[in-house]
């Protein structure tokens, strides 16, 4: 019995830590990424605008029906005859008032059916409109949902080489985007509400989602399918920028990590390559070629770390490497047994990965 109580207490403690970490992470992410937008009510693309139109129509129709039902109920309550135990039963045939009420119910039911059919038709038309986005000269991205981060592969495009990044997508505003969705472990769901609706990512099955950002901005997305302990802490950023800014970003991402001449950073690289870090992470141009965790070649070009949860700062990097489970309970990243000097050296080198 004592073991059961202890197990329940441990589970409650873990759930509390997850809740607190999620709240703190969300606040940190907002500060970290210049308040990225995450709202279906502020569409930044034509498809998100279509979804908002459908929502507004549904809200108006359902609101009117709800108000009409309440009004009818109140009228019925006010007109209802009051009786008590001594009141004789009413066995008289239907009077004109009852017949009128019956007709009202029939009319209201018919109107409800018509409205429901109209909503179904609007839903079908919206779905067709979402699938008709022109995809001429698109940017293609392969996005894989992992527990609990996002791996993004940009294939070669217009003579520019391909590369791999994580947790942050950069796209050119005004150009269609085709994202091939995959799941590396369990079911995930890709959702950036400012740009499109939700799309499931199923293990062993590849699907695609097409969207277009019509104006520059930073839009927050997240996994919308429960995928494990860190589901609520699995976020990402989509950065829509001008074509020139996107081209410059892509050219930088395609390159290997630049060697630093700083002695502390060079030592940090050596520590990184000798530790288990190199078995999980890739840093192109170094001996680190792991594939279990995010590609860190241009880590400092990203606004956040830990799948969009924390600002990409020196203090957060130190804390994340030293105590990852304290920042995101349930994470699969192990804490590294580094000395304080080695930890500072590793962070100094990571800060050179621009």
Q: What is the pLDDT of residues 153-192, one digit of tens each?
A: 999 988 889 999 999 999 999 999 999 999 999 999 999 9
Least confident range of 1-5, 107-111, 175-179: 1-5
Least confident range of 100-104, 194-198, 217-221: 100-104
Q: How confident is residue 72, by pLDDT bands cut at 50, 70 and 90? A: confident
Could you tell me which residue, 210 or 99, shows the higher pLDDT? 210
Evaluate whether 282 touches 297 at the Cβ level (below 8 Å): yes
Burial 63-81 (b: 16+ CB within 10 A, else e): eeeeeeeeeeeeeeeeeee
Least confident range of 6-15, 50-59, 72-81, 124-133: 6-15
pLDDT at 101 over 80: no
Evaluate whether 179 touches 154 at the Cβ level (below 8 Å): no
3-class DSSP assignment, residue 173: coil
Rounded to whole angstroms, the Cα distance separating 163 from 298 reads 11
- What are the tens digits of pLDDT across the range 218-245? 999 999 999 999 999 999 999 999 999 9
Question: CA dihedral defined by 181, 183, 184, 190, rounded to 10 degrees?
Answer: 80
Mean pLDDT calculated for residue range 12-28: 45
Question: 88 phi and psi, to 5 degrees?
Answer: -70, 145
- What are the tens digits of pLDDT across the range 28-63? 444 444 578 899 999 999 999 999 999 999 999 999
Question: 19 phi and psi, to 5 degrees?
Answer: -65, -50
pLDDT at 283 over 90: yes
Least confident range of 17-31, 188-202, 277-291: 17-31
Evaluate whether 320 touches 338 at the Cβ level (below 8 Å): no
Q: Does domain 263-350 have CATH number 2.60.40.420?
A: yes
pLDDT at 12 over 70: no
Evaluate whether 303 touches 32 at the Cβ level (below 8 Å): yes
Q: How confident is residue 21, by pLDDT bands cut at 50, 70 and 90? A: very low
Rounded to whole angstroms, the Cα distance separating 127 from 104 reads 35
Q: How many CB atoms lie within 10 A of CB 353?
A: 21
Rounded to whole angstroms, the Cα distance separating 152 from 169 reads 7
For residue 327, what are the contacts with CB-CB under 8 A and spacing of at least 6?
A: 21, 25, 306, 309, 310, 316, 319, 320
pLDDT value, residue 188: 97
Q: Quote the crossing angle between the two packed helices 96-130 and 46-79, to the nearest 10°.
A: 170
Domain locations in the chain as residue ranges: 263-350
For residue 48, what are the contacts with CB-CB under 8 A and spacing of at least 6?
A: 40, 193, 194, 195, 196, 197, 211
Least confident range of 18-32, 167-181, 199-213, 262-276: 18-32
pLDDT at 116 over 60: yes
pLDDT value, residue 160: 85
pLDDT value, residue 296: 96
Q: How confident is residue 106, by pLDDT bands cut at 50, 70 and 90? A: confident
Evaluate whether 320 touches 45 at the Cβ level (below 8 Å): no
Rounded to whole angstroms, the Cα distance separating 262 from 273 reads 17
Evaluate whether 348 touches 262 at the Cβ level (below 8 Å): yes
What is the share, in percent, of the chain residues with pLDDT greater than 70?
88
Q: How many CB atoms lie within 10 A of CB 140?
A: 17
């Amino acid at each position: 019995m004592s073991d059961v109580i202890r197990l329940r207490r441990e589970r409650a403690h873990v759930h509390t830590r997850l809740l607190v970490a999620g709240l703190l992470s969300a606040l940190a992410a907002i500060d970290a990424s210049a308040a990225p937008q995450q709202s279906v009510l502020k569409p930044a693309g034509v498809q998100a605008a279509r979804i908002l139109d459908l929502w507004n129509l549904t809200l108006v129709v359902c609101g009117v029906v709800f108000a009409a039902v309440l009004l009818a109920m109140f009228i019925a309550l006010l007109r209802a005859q009051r009786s008590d135990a001594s009141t004789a039963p009413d066995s008289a045939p239907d009077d004109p008032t009852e017949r009128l009420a019956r007709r009202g119910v029939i009319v209201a039911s018919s109107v409800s059916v018509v409205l429901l059919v109209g909503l179904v038709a609007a839903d079908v038309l919206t779905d067709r409109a979402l699938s008709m986005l022109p995809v001429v000269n698109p940017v293609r991205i392969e996005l894989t949902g992992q527990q609990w981060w996002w791996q993004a592969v940009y294939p070669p495009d217009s003579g520019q080489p391909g590369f791999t990044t994580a947790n942050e997508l950069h796209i050119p505003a005004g150009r269609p985007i085709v994202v091939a969705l995959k799941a590396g472990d369990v079911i995930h769901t890709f959702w950036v509400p400012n740009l499109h609706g939700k799309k499931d990512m199923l293990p062993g099955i590849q699907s695609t989602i097409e969207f277009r950002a019509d104006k520059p901005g930073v839009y927050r997305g997240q996994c919308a399918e429960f995928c494990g302990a860190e589901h609520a802490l699995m976020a990402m950023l989509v950065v829509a920028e001008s074509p020139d800014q996107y081209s410059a970003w892509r050219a930088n991402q395609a390159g290997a990590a630049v060697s630093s001449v700083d002695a502390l950073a060079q030592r940090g690289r050596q520590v990184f390559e000798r530790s288990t870090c190199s078995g999980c992470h890739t840093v192109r141009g170094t001996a680190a070629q792991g594939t279990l965790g995010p590609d860190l070649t241009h880590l400092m070009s990203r606004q956040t770390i830990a799948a969009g949860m924390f600002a990409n700062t020196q203090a957060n990097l130190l804390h994340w490497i030293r105590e990852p489970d304290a920042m995101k309970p349930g994470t699969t990243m192990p804490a590294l047994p580094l000395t304080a000097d080695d930890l500072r050296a590793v962070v100094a080198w990571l800060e050179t990965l621009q």
